[in-house]
Amino acid sequence: MSSNVGLSTPRGSGTSGYVQRNLSTLKPRAAGYGQPYSLNDSARPPKIRKPDEDILKHDRLREIEVKVMELQDKLEDVGELDEEEIEEECEKLRTKMVGEMERGRGGKGEKGGRTKSYQVHELAEAKARESEKMRRALGLKGGAKDGEEEGDHPMARQERRKRAADLQRVTREGEDERGNGGRRRKYEDD
């Protein structure tokens, strides 16, 4: 027994006496955790990691080589062609597929094949394409406006603009009151 928590003795309680903390309690929103959006600049969404183009190119070339090896095995099993003719056929297929890859028509993402969870660069590339497509569909601009952070929540930007407009209005009213040659306005009540 420690820190006067739980039963003084587990005897007769039908339990082992082990005390666990309650994991189902909810933290209040006022503590800053779980707020729908934040007005402070330090709360930004996580940055999306860009895919490494060299790794993507390597994976695509590896995929091409696998297909070339499959063709080579198939032609060798048939046995109708010489070794040189098999090499020529494989080289033709290789150059054709590399050309398609360089033109942008080939690749895993466009074939509709499912990427595995360990293919992080392919997943990042697919996510970037999906985000760009969604941004265009919603008519959002690519970059941030002047004075705005790219990751800001729209409500935070609206609140910041509202505060700036209120501040300008107050300063304008203050200048109007002092606009009489530096003299203060006199009211009938004074």
What percent of the chain shows pLDDT beyond 70?
A: 66
Taking residue 97's Cβ as centre, other Cβ atoms within 10 Å add up to: 19
- How high is the pLDDT of residue 9? 78
- Judge whether residue 104 has pLDDT over 80: no
Instruction: Tell which wins on pLDDT, 29 or 124.
Output: 124
- Whether this model's pTM surpasses 0.75: no
- Judge whether residue 78 has pLDDT over 90: no
Which of 2-16, 22-36, 111-125 has the lowest average pLDDT? Answer: 22-36
- How high is the pLDDT of residue 43? 56
- Judge whether residue 103 has pLDDT over 50: yes
- How high is the pLDDT of residue 39? 56
Instruction: Tell which wins on pLDDT, 17 or 88.
Output: 88
Instruction: Tell which wins on pLDDT, 59 or 151.
Output: 59
pLDDT level of residue 61 (50, 70, 90 thresholds): very high
Query: What digits encode the pLDDT tens for the residues 175-188?
Result: 777 665 555 555 55
pLDDT level of residue 14 (50, 70, 90 thresholds): confident
